A and B are shown apart, each in its own frame.
Chain A
Amino acid sequence: TVGAVACDRRSNLAAATSTGGMTNKMIGRLGDSAVPGAGNYANNKTCAVSCTGSGEYFLRGVVAYDVSCLMEMKNMTLQEAAEEVIQRRILEIGGDGGLIAVDAEANISLPFNTEGMYRAFQTSDGVAGVKIYK
C-alpha cells in the first residue's frame, strides 16, 4: 500500500492511498487501507491521514477518522492522536501497520507498530528524509 498526505501553502490538507490488496486475498474482498474514513481521511480542522497495514483492522478501528476525532474532540496534538491510535487502539484489536499524517500547521507524524516501513517526508523548513524503518 502506498499513500501520501500534504499540507499546502494555504493550509489545505489532502490524503491519497492506493493499494494492490493482499496476496491470495479472496476475490471480492474490499477492505484495505484505501477506504475513506478507515485508512484515508482529510479535514482541514484537524489532519490528513493515510494508513498501511492489515486493512480489516483499519476498517474496524475507523483508524484515519479516529485520529481526526481525537484531535477535534480531545484536543490532542497530531503526534499524540496518531500515537494513541497506532500504539494503543489498533493494537488492542490485534491490528498491525502504521500511518502518515499531517496537520494544518504542516506538522508530520509517522507512527507504526510493525517492521519494515517505507517512509519519505519533506517540509518547507528543510526537514526531509527517505527512510526504510527496519
Chain B
Amino acid sequence: MARFAIALHGGAGTLIKGNMTPDKEKAYKKVLSEALQKGYTVLENDGAAVDAVQEAVMCMEDSALFNAGKGSVFSANGTHEMEAAIMEGKTRKAGAVALLTGIKNPISVARDVMEKSQHVFLLGQGALEFAKSMDHVLQDSKYFYDEFRYQQWQEIKGSSQFQLDHSKSKNSKFG
C-alpha cells in the first residue's frame, strides 16, 4: 500500500490581528485537530480520499469559528450565501454549489451534485431545491448567527466594501 496523507486549511483569520488570545487559539486548534483526525481516520481505515476530505470539511463547517457552514459571514443583505466544491482525481468528476442558503453542510450537497446529478455546478434556488430533494439538513438563520460575524458586517454595512477574514477591506473593482 502506498503512503497516504491529508492536509486542511481553515482560511485566514481576522483574529490574527493582535486579537488571538490563548483560549481562542486553543479553540481553533481543537477544531482543526478534530477535522484532521476525522479525515485521517478515513484514510487509515482504507477509505477513499474523497470521503476523507468531505468528513474533514464537514467538521469545520459545523464550527462557528471558520467561514463556512455555521460560521459563514454576512453578505450585504444580512444573509449567508455559501459555496462549496469537491473533486476526485481518479475520474475528475466534480460537484459544486454556490449562492446556497440555509443548508448545514454545503460540501455534502456538492458531493451529491457530483455523484447524483448530471451537472457540475448548481446555484441559488436550484441548488437549494436539489439539496432538499436529497434530504440535506436545513438550518434557519439563528443557526448561522454569530455576534462576532455580525459586528464584522456592521463595520462595513451599507458601503461598497467587502472584507476577507484577514484583510480590512478589498476594493470592489476587479477586472
Contact = CB atoms under 8 A, between A and B. Distances in A.
Range for the number of chain A residues in contact with chain B:
35 or more
Contacts of B69: 18, 20
Interface string B4-15: 111111111111
A39 B86 CA distance: 10
Contact of B81 (A4, A17, A27, A53): A27
Nearest to B98: A30
Contact of B12 (A25, A28, A53): A53
| 3 nearest A-B pairs in the assembled complex, by CB-CB distance | A20-B72, A118-B10, A116-B16
Interface of A: 1-30, 32, 34-36, 39-45, 47-48, 50, 52-54, 56, 60, 96-102, 104-108, 110, 112, 114-125, 128, 130, 132, 134
Q: Say whether chain B's binding surface is mostly helix, strand, loop, or mixed.
A: mixed
B21 interface: no
Interface string B123-153: 1100000000000000000000000010011
Contact of B53 (A11, A16, A118, A125): A16
Given A6-B52, A18-B69, A132 B13 contact: yes
Given A2-B68, A26-B76, A48 B49 contact: yes
A75 to B, nearest CB: 18
B2 A9 contact: yes
A47 to B, nearest CB: 8
Contacts of A22: 73, 162-164, 170
A6 B82 contact: no
